[in-house]
């Protein structure tokens, strides 16, 4: 297995961007096409975070060698590299089109340059913390692109719960008026409601540590999905919001992805 740096131009951000791409054993010697997993970092992170801090390469090697994960191309991208973190969103105030960069620049770039299976049911997302929100949000908002999303300790907050933090953060720059249509379009609970209405429901998986400060937020999203009848998988383990937890439980998220891809 190998990890390759890949640079490209983003028209959405008018900037050069880079990502790391894991290709499975035998990739260079075959003509086979592979599913794609996008592995998203959290706040204060970068495209190298999963590789340097999250033991991602070793975990992928082990699961693929053991037959617990189908050979896949795994892309570790930047969130766009602005501020403390972009949440993989197009910002309301025009700061940056970070969602468009992901959807219209990154994904087509990977499909052009690597032997991917260009199909929503073979393209999935996985992320931690801010990247957990990004994975779920991108999948729910773009079911034509992604068939599944897995979140570890995700920031899966509904905009209705942001009142206390709203005036003291850059959330307003991201989503605009708290009760406006733009904020609602990024609210994971409300977007999940829309997917239930139109029947285009990506497979969703979440796990979170019971000592994580985002634990209640993850429980709230899980209970909301249960209430509206959205089939999903939720697990909780002992642990906090740190790399010790994410390294230990990345395999759980990848095994869910395997179960999705296998079907």
Is residue 7 within 8 Å of residue 16, measured between CB atoms? Answer: yes
Per DSSP, what are the bridge partners of residue 21?
A: 4, 75
Measure CA 124 to chain center: 8
* pLDDT attached to residue 166: 63
The arithmetic mean of pLDDT across residues 176-185, rounded, is 93
Reported as half-sphere exposure (CB side, CA atoms, 13 A), residue 5 has a value of: 5
- What's the pLDDT band for 169 if we cut at 50, 70, 90? confident
User: What is the percent of the chain where pLDDT is above 70?
Assistant: 97
Segment 204-242, tens digit of pLDDT: 999 999 999 999 999 999 999 999 999 999 999 999 999
Q: What is the mean pLDDT of the chain?
A: 96
Across 41-79, the runs of DSSP E, i.e. the strands, are: 73-77
* pLDDT attached to residue 163: 66
The pTM of this model reads: 0.97
Is residue 240 within 8 Å of residue 209, measured between CB atoms? Answer: yes
Cα(205)–Cα(57) distance, rounded to whole angstroms?
Answer: 21
User: What is the percent of the chain where pLDDT is above 90?
Assistant: 92
Segment 121-168, tens digit of pLDDT: 999 999 999 999 999 999 999 999 999 999 999 999 898 777 666 666
* pLDDT attached to residue 27: 96
């Amino acid at each position: 297995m190998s990890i390759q740096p890949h640079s490209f131009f983003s028209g959405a951000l008018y900037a050069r961007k880079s990502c790391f791409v894991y290709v499975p054993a035998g990739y260079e010697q075959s003509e086979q096409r592979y599913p794609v997993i996008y592995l998203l970092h959290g706040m204060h992170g970068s495209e190298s975070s999963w590789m340097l801090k999250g033991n991602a390469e070793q975990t992928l090697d082990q699961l693929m060698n053991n037959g617990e994960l189908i050979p896949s191309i795994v892309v570790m991208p930047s969130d766009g590299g602005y501020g403390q973190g972009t949440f993989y969103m197009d910002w309301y105030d025009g700061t940056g089109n970070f969602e468009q960069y992901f959807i219209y620049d990154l994904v087509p770039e990977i499909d052009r340059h690597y032997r991917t299976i260009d199909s929503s049911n073979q393209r999935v997302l996985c992320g931690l913390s801010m990247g957990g929100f990004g994975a779920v949000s991108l999948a729910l908002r773009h079911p034509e692109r992604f068939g599944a999303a897995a979140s570890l300790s995700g920031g899966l907050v509904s905009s209705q719960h942001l009142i206390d933090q709203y005036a003291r953060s850059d959330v307003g720059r991201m989503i605009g008026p708290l009760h406006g249509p733009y904020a609602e379009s990024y609210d994971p609970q409300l977007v999940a409601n829309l997917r239930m209405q139109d029947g285009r429901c990506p497979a969703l998986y979440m796990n979170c540590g019971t000592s994580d400060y985002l634990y209640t937020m993850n429980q709230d999203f899980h209970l909301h999905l249960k209430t509206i009848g959205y089939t999903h998988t939720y697990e909780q383990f002992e642990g906090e919001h740190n790399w010790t937890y994410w390294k230990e439980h990345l395999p759980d998220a990848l095994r869910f992805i395997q179960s999705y891809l296998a079907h």
